[in-house]
């Protein structure tokens, strides 16, 4: 089943296309508004911007517990294959764990994070929620439960395969890669770590900074 892709295109022929890979799980919800603002800024600068839904996420009809990281990697490669012309993948946070399969001109990653770190955050949130509900759980007990059955973590029902793959997942090395962080300096952009907020947020200045840095990286790679 083909998943929905949100697209914003410029007037005229695009300089290149930017395939945006959002953070995973709840972090995607917290950053989506800012990513859409970045897409609009990219389109204003002549780029086509594409934000696909991963299976089990957002508008997807696939149950999340039926997918794993490998499913997301394959789905992203399929989405990239439908885009004509020069293509850059721009990934945020855990999105960098699934962005390496497509054959593209360049990659851009913001604050990439390992799967084990994401998994610990999700499990600690579950332990805290259990405690508030009068239930005793621990990271070890949740890991044991997740070995044989889907586990509910921060509103996400994850399969044993997803949890096992997350536990060992690291970003893959790719050619023509720019990695940026939040902060100041040559390899940083100013912005807010929206993925840490309890609710979805918006940072218009950060969106413009993301778009400008991606555009500059495209030029540096000779893509536009």
pLDDT of residue 32: 93
Encoding tokens for residue 63? 């149950």
Within 10 A of 222 (CB to CB), how many other CB atoms are there? 10
Strand partners, 181: 188
Contact 56, 7 (CB under 8 A): no
Angle, vertex CA 208, rays to CA 207 and CA 213, nearest 5: 100
Question: For every one of its 224 residues, what pLDDT tens digit does the chain have, with 9 covering 90 and above?
Answer: 457 889 999 988 999 999 999 999 989 999 999 999 999 999 999 999 999 999 988 888 899 999 999 999 999 999 999 999 999 999 999 999 999 999 999 999 999 999 999 999 999 999 999 999 999 999 999 999 999 999 999 889 999 999 999 999 999 999 999 999 999 888 999 999 999 887 888 999 999 999 999 999 999 999 97
pLDDT of residue 163: 95
pLDDT of residue 69: 95
Q: Give the number of residues written for the chain.
A: 224
Find all residues with CB under 8 Å of 105, minimum gap 6, and list them: 16, 86, 87, 88, 176, 221, 223
3-state secondary structure 107-169: EEEECCCCHHHHHHHHHHHHHHHHHHCCCCCCHHHHHHHHCCCCEEECCEEECHHHHHHHHHC
Contact 172, 101 (CB under 8 A): no
């Amino acid at each position: 089943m083909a998943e929905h892709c949100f697209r914003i295109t410029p007037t005229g022929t695009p300089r290149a296309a930017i395939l945006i890979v959002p953070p995973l799980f709840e972090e995607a919800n917290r950053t989506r508004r800012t990513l859409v603002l970045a897409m609009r800024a990219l389109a204003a600068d002549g780029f086509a911007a594409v934000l696909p839904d991963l299976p089990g996420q957002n508008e997807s009809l696939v149950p999340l517990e039926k997918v794993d990281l490998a499913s997301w990697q394959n789905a992203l490669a399929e989405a990239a294959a439908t885009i004509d012309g020069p293509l850059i993948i721009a990934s945020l946070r855990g999105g960098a764990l699934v962005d390496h399969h497509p054959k593209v001109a360049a990659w851009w990653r913001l604050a990439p994070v390992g799967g084990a770190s994401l998994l610990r955050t999700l499990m600690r949130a579950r332990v805290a929620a259990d405690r508030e509900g009068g239930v005793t759980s621990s990271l070890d007990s949740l890991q044991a439960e997740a070995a044989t059955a889907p586990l509910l973590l921060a509103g996400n029902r994850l399969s044993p395969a997803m949890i096992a793959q997350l536990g060992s997942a690291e970003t893959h090395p790719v050619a023509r890669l720019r990695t940026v962080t939040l902060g100041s300096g040559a390899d940083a952009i100013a912005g807010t770590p929206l993925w840490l907020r309890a609710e979805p947020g918006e940072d218009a200045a950060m969106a413009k900074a993301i778009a400008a840095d991606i555009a500059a990286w495209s030029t540096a790679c000779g893509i536009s």
